[in-house]
Amino acid sequence: MAEATGTGAPVSKPIAENEHVQELYNILKNNNSPGLGDFLSIVKQIGAMEKHLESAVGELSAMRTQLEELEASNHPFRNAYQKTVIAMQAQVLEIRDKLTELKEQFIEGCKNAVQSFKDKGIAALDNVARFLGIKPVLENLRDSCDKGIQQDNRNIARIETISTEYHEAGRHLKNIGRAIIGKEPIQEAKPMGAVAKALIVPCKADRKCLTAIRGCAEKAIVTLARLEERAEKPSIAADLKKFSEKVAQAAKEAPAPEKPAPTNAER
């Protein structure tokens, strides 16, 4: 699949392999830019989010397989689990779209920064963060992860509740039979069964993936803020340049020194 930006099409390559990202990285590196470390950190965080999303997609695939098995056996959990799978699919798609938007915006920002460097020189990259413009997208991605984590918590609670109700109903039925034959009733229902535990596993794994993506987004936001703060502080090189310009201007504006009066010998 070809790489695409600004079109809504998914960006297929890992962010670190994009030509515009690599080109900006080389420019910052070759010019000893103080923002290089923060730029690299953001690239790594986006790359990590890509990998965590892949894991979440894998968990969703596992849940679909489990759902098919429940439906085939007409298991009592099938309807509730179907709702869980549908909810998780929606949240994974939302995270995927937000991450695609983030990558597209970041790549477009790198492309613009490179062009500005070609037009104006390294001074144009004193504030790399202003070219990227990814803070709102990062914040939206973080918020989507928060919603997804909450949804996973609800899914887990739903499965646990259904499991409890299922085993409680079974206990009541058994106690009816025991009462008929004069046996003491069972006081406690069975703990969560193997099926319910198996259904909860991918929900917890997905929650872990979303928590990791949220952490990466938060780190990228902090790093971006640091990059912006550094840009607001004039560099030593910039200070020296301004000082040199002031000295040169002062020299031009200074009056020419008066010539000394000729001596008797010169006369």
Tens-digit pLDDT profile for residues 187-225: 555 555 677 777 788 888 889 999 999 999 999 999 988
Q: Where are the beta strands (DSSP E) in 45-159?
A: none
- The pLDDT, as a whole number, for residue 101 is 93
CB 186 within 8 A of CB 171: yes
CB 60 within 8 A of CB 89: yes
CA proximity to 105, closest of 141, 125, 133, 130: 133
CB 212 within 8 A of CB 148: no
CB 216 within 8 A of CB 48: yes
Mean pLDDT value across residues 12-34: 88
- The pLDDT, as a whole number, for residue 122 is 80
- Which residue type occupies 24? L
Tens-digit pLDDT profile for residues 153-164: 988 888 777 766
Greater confidence (180 vs 148) lies with 148
Backbone torsion region of residue 188, taken as left when φ is above 0, otherwise alpha when ψ lies between -120 and 50, otherwise beta:
beta
Tens-digit pLDDT profile for residues 173-189: 454 554 566 556 555 55
| Reported pTM | 0.71
Give the DSSP H/E element, type plus range, for residue 221: helix 194-232
Tens-digit pLDDT profile for residues 62-97: 888 888 888 888 877 788 788 888 888 898 999 999
Within 8 A by CB and 6+ apart from 235, the residues are: 34, 126
Residue bearing tokens 């030509």: 19
d(CA 175, CA 239): 86
- The pLDDT, as a whole number, for residue 233 is 57
Among 102-111, 131-140, 170-179, which stretch is predicted with the lowest mean pLDDT?
Answer: 170-179
Which tokens in the block code for residue 148?
């997804």
